[in-house]
Amino acid sequence: MPVVRHTDLDAFLEAALPMAERGEASASFFTGAAHTLKRTPPRTGERVYLASFRSNEARGVAIQRDKGPVLIGESDIAAAQAFADDLAQDWPGLQGVMGGQAGCEAFARRWLDLTGRAHRLRVRLRQHALTAVNPVPGAPGAPRLAEAGDVDWLIEMHVAFIAEVGVPDPPERVREFMPVRVARGDYWIWDDGTPVAYVGYNDAAPDFARIAPVYTIPGARGRGYATALVAELARELLARGKRKLFLTTDIANRTSNAIYARIGFLAENDECGFDFVVADV
């Protein structure tokens, strides 16, 4: 059964729907991406890969945009291998793969055979879901919607965030998307005299939202700003009618995992991210 590349977003959404049975938080990447593309079509020349695989024994879905990694979620091994075969034909410079460990390892082994590039573990991730917000302590200051005057600060802080966590996201892309997303209302700031933390979210899908990123500036950490800010945003999104909220954490970051657990997020899936590198000879 060949990989199906989708240009029809509704067909991709239908193909991705069964993946929610393996974890809604993981599957929300795929459905959220499709709804985002409906709302904001890709810029001219941007690479967008939406694919699905289904056989009697296996199924899977994959997304990849521009220079980022391919996301395969909880795709089965046969599906992961098929996506590697498909992508290697015209995108051998792929940055990496993210998803369930078994599928990612299968993809990476096939990638080595096809391109000669090995893989290196970059991060272990945990997918979380929330349906109700727990009471959390307050923090000095208050949340507010980010405004046009905050764009430069948000760009600076987001570039610092991606450097700190090692996300493969070039600064030029941050400078491109930040003004658009701030104008759309996708960022909140916690202000304690000056901005001290921010959170972003994507609510393109009708029944859920994904929260990311969350960042507190160095020197202002440990005071409850991020906890209070995420809790306030979560309450607002649920009040708007969202059925569930999702976010992703680095398993190694015990602080962020503890924060989100206090707010009410429950772990659903553990996944990993591999970077592709030149193989040792």
**Confidence band of 104 (pLDDT split at 50, 70, 90):** very high
Domain limits for position 26:
4-124+273-278
Same domain, yes or no, for 191 and 174? yes
Report the distance separating Cα 234 and Cα 252, nearest Å.
Answer: 23
One-letter amino acid identity for 265? F
Confidence band for 167, pLDDT divided at 50, 70 and 90: confident
DSSP state of 21: G
pLDDT higher than 90, residue 241? yes
Number of domains in the chain: 2
Task: Round to whole Å and give the CA distance between 89 and 182.
Answer: 37
Residues 13 and 111 in one domain: yes
Q: What percent of the chain clears pLDDT 70, i.e. is strictly above it?
A: 99
Q: Name 176's Cβ contacts closer than 8 Å, sequence gap at least 6.
A: none
| 20 pLDDT more than 80 | yes
86 and 159, same structural domain?
no
For residue 220, tell me if it sits in a domain: yes
Q: Give pLDDT, residue 43.
A: 83
pTM, rounded to two decimals: 0.93
- The Cα-based distances of 231 to 22, 132, 258 in angstroms read 26, 10, 13
Same domain, 82 and 148: no
70 token code pair: 């391919």
Q: Judge whether residue 1 has pLDDT over 70.
A: no
159 and 101 in one domain?
Answer: no
160 and 95 co-located in one domain = no
Residue 175 in domain:
yes
- Assigned domain for 235 exists: yes
Measure the CA–CA gap between 40 and 227, rounded to whole angstroms: 30
Arithmetic mean of pLDDT, 55-65: 95
pLDDT digits (tens, 9 = 90+) for 107-129: 999 999 999 999 999 999 999 99
- How much is the average pLDDT of 184-210? 97
Query: Is 143 a member of any domain?
Result: yes
Q: Which residues contact 271 (CB under 8 A, 6 or more apart)?
A: 26, 73, 98, 99, 100, 101, 104, 124, 125, 126, 127
Segment 195-213 shows an average pLDDT of: 96
Q: Are residues 117 and 208 in the same domain?
A: no
Q: Say which CATH number the domain at 225 has.
A: 3.40.630.30
Looking at the fold, whether 80 and 10 belong to one and the same domain comes out as: yes
Average pLDDT on 148-176 reads: 91
* Residue scoring higher pLDDT (87 or 165): 87
Q: Are residues 94 and 193 in the same domain?
A: no
pLDDT over 70 at 281, yes or no: no
- What rounded mean pLDDT belongs to the chain? 95
Residue 203 lies in a domain: yes
Q: Classify residue 2 by its DSSP letter.
A: P
What is Dmax (Cα atoms) for the chain? 59
In this prediction, residue 280 carries a pLDDT of 66
Residue 268 resides in a domain? no
95 and 213 within one domain: no
Answer yes or no: is pLDDT of 279 > 80.
Answer: no
Same-domain status, 144 and 82 = no
Polymer length in residues for the chain: 281
Clarify whether residues 120 and 145 are in a common domain.
Answer: no
In a domain, 72, yes or no: yes
The reported pLDDT for the residue numbered 173 is: 87
Q: What's the pLDDT at 202?
A: 95
pLDDT at 67: 87
CA distance 137 to 103: 40
